[in-house]
Chains A and B, each alone.
Chain A
Amino acid sequence: MSEEQETPQENKPIDLSKDKNPEPAPFQPLGNGPVTPPPFQQPPPFGQFGGGGFGQQNLPNSTASLVLGILAIPACCFYGIFGLIFGVIAWVLGAGDMKKYQLNPSLYTESSYKNAKAGKICGMIATILSALMVVMFILIIVGVVANPNMFENFLRDLR
């Protein structure tokens, strides 16, 4: 039975080694606080926002997702390819951050969650628009290659 009392002593150097790793953000020690008690993850997020949210971090990719999602539409000029790339990246980043927030909502701020959600939706919209453009371009290119006369008639109809 005395061996059980020795085991926490063995854990002590591990805890010290964790404390010795200083992370650059000053909010880290506050942010790590809610991790240790798991029952804080069970209540719905709305109750926690009323209780003051200091010690919460921003989601890591929410800003990048939002910015990329918005830049995707001006970027779609070059055959829609850059718009497609930016939109898909924004979509994936936003969706990943939303999952991260839903796993433990007490860790992150709600505003960054909203930003990630907006970035995901903007990325979806830009992806759909760029995909429409790419499909149209592919159809036109296939048409030009397959039947050039048809394309000339098509141009004449557009005039």
Chain B
Amino acid sequence: MAQPQHSFLDWIGEHLFNCPFKAHFGFDCPGCGLQRSVLALFRGDLIASFKFYPATIPLIFVVVFTIVHLKVDFKFGAQLIKIVFAGVAVIILINYIYKIYTHQLI
């Protein structure tokens, strides 16, 4: 009787959604790494999460902050959401270009 040594996060890690783009063409799309990064964040590993996908932490911050903002209605809320969201977009673009130049796409 083998005892279940894998945690729930390990089970999820083996059953992530496949990127349809990577399945067809064999290299990463600009969104690849997001699920692994969120999983690493659940494990508490901030550095691994950043290495998988640098935009995850600000993205989750924006989502959580938007929920709080819609409830509480901060004065600076909309402005902050705009700035962080633009930052997320820039991080995604830079991350993808960096991956192309450093040959990490495959």
Contacts and interface: CB of A to CB of B under 8 A. Distances in A.
Interface stretch (A11-19, A32-40, A117-125): A117-125
Given A129-B92, A158-B103, A70 B21 contact: no
Interface stretch (A2-10, A72-80, A97-105): A72-80
Residue of B19, B85, B100 with highest tally of chain A CB at under 10 A: B85
B89 A77 contact: no
A115 B78 contact: yes
Interface residues of B, number: 33
A96 B8 CA distance: 45
A106 B77 CA distance: 21
A76 B77 CA distance: 24
Nearest to A83: B31
B95 interface: no
A77 B53 CA distance: 13
Interface of A: 63, 66-67, 69-70, 73-74, 76-79, 111, 114-115, 117-118, 121-122, 125-126, 128-129, 132-133, 137, 140, 144, 155, 158-159
List 10 A-B pairs, minimum CB-CB distance, nearest first.
Answer: A114-B78, A118-B78, A77-B31, A122-B85, A125-B89, A118-B82, A118-B81, A158-B105, A121-B82, A129-B89
Given A115-B70, A140-B25, A158-B105, 9 more contacts: A63-B70, A70-B63, A73-B85, A79-B21, A121-B85, A122-B85, A129-B30, A129-B92, A129-B93
Interface of B: 17, 19-21, 25-27, 29-31, 34, 59, 62-63, 66, 70, 73, 75, 77-79, 81-82, 85-86, 88-89, 92-93, 100, 103, 105-106
